[in-house]
Structure 1
């Protein structure tokens, strides 16, 4: 029994360390594409009971300890809370200092600047202090908003390929798939010799232009169909390779028709797309 408990504890520790390692990798990758995830969190002060006056970032994207390096030397207690150093006067705050000795020299200039910051800070009331995330307007962190931010960064990295890669008729995952295909970042580079030259790559497959006889909206719909077709073929190719699930051509066509209708009809706002037209006369939608 004792051995089982020791092994269970060891397994929990290993899993915890593994999660920390994976989290560090993910945060590094998020930072590489230009999203300052860690530094985007800040403290919203209410009653000031749990927020460190000098060490937490509550007056901006900086701590007062780093901002006022001369003045902080005169502080008698570096762990003091906001409530003990910044009392509320109406909707603003004023300093209530506890110096170990009277500040002098350049520290007085920093003290004036700090007093101005405190007087301009609007109090949030007597509620508890809370951490907020700068990545959303509500201040609440959600994985959906972070996922949207990452996708947007990936699709707008500053090259011509990214600038022309938006199509709001398809889900984000399809856009990411096409971006990866164009950048040759899929494990298999050749498109099995289908649809033209045996050397046709996935990137070239999505570089084609729509027919000149199509309307602007029609070209967008046709592009969305191409993208969805490629995405579903790639998805089911992975099912075949990794799960040994076969995908027959009739089933493939049926899924492409259903999924493309479901995604495009839901997002296309110019006019209604009915199932019968989509299935039997799709040409009228792109003319």
Structure 2
């Protein structure tokens, strides 16, 4: 209901960061990915945690929309009685001498303007009966308000706050307009504006339906807090970003999150730890002991991982997955295979289960000295992927006996 102070937002974001990344002995753990990317929408290449400030501003914008969309409600009439005056031509009224939450709500407009989002431009209306649209001040005919489009006529208008319904009579096949002015137009410019005004509004059909206020940047023109928040999130991205399209609802969040970080090379392999200032005496892969441990080596190049991918490919009955250069290429491979969308989604589940178990086997060797063999890892991959698909998808008819042979083509649409 109120515009949160920036200090409050900053404190809340700090709590969220500490929760995500963790703290140990009063110190921050490594923060692998910029917080701005963590809060960015998934469609913009982020984790999708959401930006608190943008969410707060989006909720403030909803009150602008409600004020315009619901002029007859009691609270709207109270706000109008307190803040409106005949000399104000703003989208929503604001009396600077009156303190309170409404002042905060109107201040949100300036902050959105500084972020490149104009509420005045974005709030659009589909004309119905005209009872919720100000004839001169709202943008209901054309891309500008009639006040700005025809300033000469607005200057002599009798009621500058008139509603569209005040000036129109709806007949069976047409609308008749009766615009009252303090005097008739008396210059060539005023007559020209008068003729253009009538021509413009005659092209707008007024009906008996309710007026519908919406949001221009939404694909369907419908106002929602999510639409405003998404637009604010996009406005903060100053460069082109690549969407991570491999999020899979059939995979648990922790595994989805790990796969995304692995594709960005933001997991705690030894090279990345050294780059972040940690002193590590042995940077070789703990499983093969031959090459420096990088993300690509761990996932794709290590001979242990390669043997796992060969066995996974045989089980799935698909061309060999082994030989991919990096984690992202490996995950995208499933969508190059022929088959239905659900079948390829299941392949993606298996690949993410494999990534997850390769990582766990690496940690077992690094921290416990236990090197799991390929059969043990493959069994874990089969078990995890079966449980994920069985519990998180709506596909019926998948049973363990058939899953062991990956004989599921007939039950996957």
> TM range, normalised to the smaller chain?
0.5 to 0.7
Q: What is the CA distance between 1:275 and its match in structure 2?
A: 3.5
Corresponding residue of 1:245? none
Corresponding residue of 1:210? 333
Provide the TM-score with structure 1 as the length reference: 0.56
Q: What is the CA distance between 1:72 and its match in structure 2?
A: 1.7
Does 1:223 pair with 2:300? no
Residues 147-158 of structure 1 aligned to structure 2 (within 5 Å): none
Provide the TM-score with structure 2 as the length reference: 0.42
Does 1:259 pair with 2:388? yes
Does 1:199 pair with 2:294? yes
Corresponding residue of 2:158? 76
SS at match of 2:267: coil
Corresponding residue of 2:3? 17
CA distance in 2, matches of 1:172, 1:117: 55
Q: What is the CA distance between 1:116 and its match in structure 2?
A: 2.1
SS at match of 1:18: coil
CA distance in 2, matches of 1:32, 1:183: 34
CA distance in 2, matches of 1:86, 1:56: 16
CA distance in 2, matches of 1:256, 1:226: 9
Q: Return closer, same or farther for 1:25/1:85 CA change in 2, 3 Å cut-off.
A: closer
Q: Return closer, same or farther for 1:168/1:181 CA change in 2, 3 Å cut-off.
A: closer
Q: How many residues align?
A: 241
8 Å contact kept, 2:133–2:211: yes
The more displaced of 116-125 and 16-25 is 16-25
Q: Return closer, same or farther for 1:149/1:170 CA change in 2, 3 Å cut-off.
A: farther
- Contiguous gaps of at least 5 residues in structure 1: 1-14, 235-248, 267-271
8 Å contact kept, 2:130–2:165: yes
Corresponding residue of 1:105? 188
SS at match of 1:132: strand
8 Å contact kept, 1:190–1:199: no
CA distance in 1, matches of 2:352, 2:113: 29
Q: Return closer, same or farther for 1:124/1:210 CA change in 2, 3 Å cut-off.
A: same
CA distance in 2, matches of 1:91, 1:78: 28
CA distance in 2, matches of 1:130, 1:274: 47
8 Å contact kept, 2:127–2:206: yes
